[in-house]
């Protein structure tokens, strides 16, 4: 399985291959090129929402960065439809650990610098 930093590198390469400039991407996000660059390198902690916006704006499949996300969300929806709200809540909380993983990766990278 790819490391998170390797997944970010895939995203960065896909953006480059599409001919998108980080500056243009940043402008479309109402941000700046430096923040986009740091988010893609994983060297600075940025909100998960910002990373997800980069994925959406670049039309990069979210599953390539977070491979199990679609299945996890579908499982939560199915549990809610079946009335298993407690299990759905537990699964959602576990899914939210993605943010913690991303944030921890960013802190670890920063501490190593």
pLDDT tens digits, one per residue of 11-33? 888 898 889 999 999 999 999 99
To the nearest whole number, what is the mean pLDDT of the chain?
Answer: 80
Burial label for 1, CB within 10 Å (0-12, 13-18, 19+), is exposed
The torsion region of residue 89 among left (phi > 0), alpha (psi -120 to 50) and beta comes to alpha
Name residue, tokens 């400039």.
Answer: 21
Q: What is the pTM of this model?
A: 0.62
* pLDDT-derived band at 111, boundaries 50, 70, 90: low
Q: By C-alpha distance, which of 27, 98, 50 is closest to 11?
A: 50
- Inform me whether the pLDDT recorded for 94 exceeds 60: yes
For the stretch 52-81, pLDDT in tens is 899 889 888 887 777 777 788 888 899 999
DSSP string covering the chain, please? ---HHHHHHHHHHHHHHTT--HHHHHHHHTS-HHHHHHHHHT-S---HHHHHHHHHHHT--HHHHSTTHHHHHHHHHHHHHTT-HHHHHHHHHHHHHHHHHHHHHHHHHHHH-
């Amino acid at each position: 399985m790819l490391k998170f930093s390797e997944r970010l590198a895939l995203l960065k390469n896909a953006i480059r291959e599409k001919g998108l400039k980080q500056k243009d991407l940043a402008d479309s996000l109402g941000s700046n090129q430096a923040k986009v660059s740091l988010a893609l390198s994983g060297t600075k902690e940025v909100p998960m929402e910002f990373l997800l916006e980069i994925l959406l704006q670049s039309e990069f499949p979210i599953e390539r960065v977070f491979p199990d996300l679609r299945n996890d969300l579908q499982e939560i929806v199915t549990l809610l439809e079946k009335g298993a709200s407690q299990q759905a809540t537990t699964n959602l909380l576990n899914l939210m650990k993605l943010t913690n993983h991303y944030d921890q990766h960013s802190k670890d990278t920063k501490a190593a610098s």
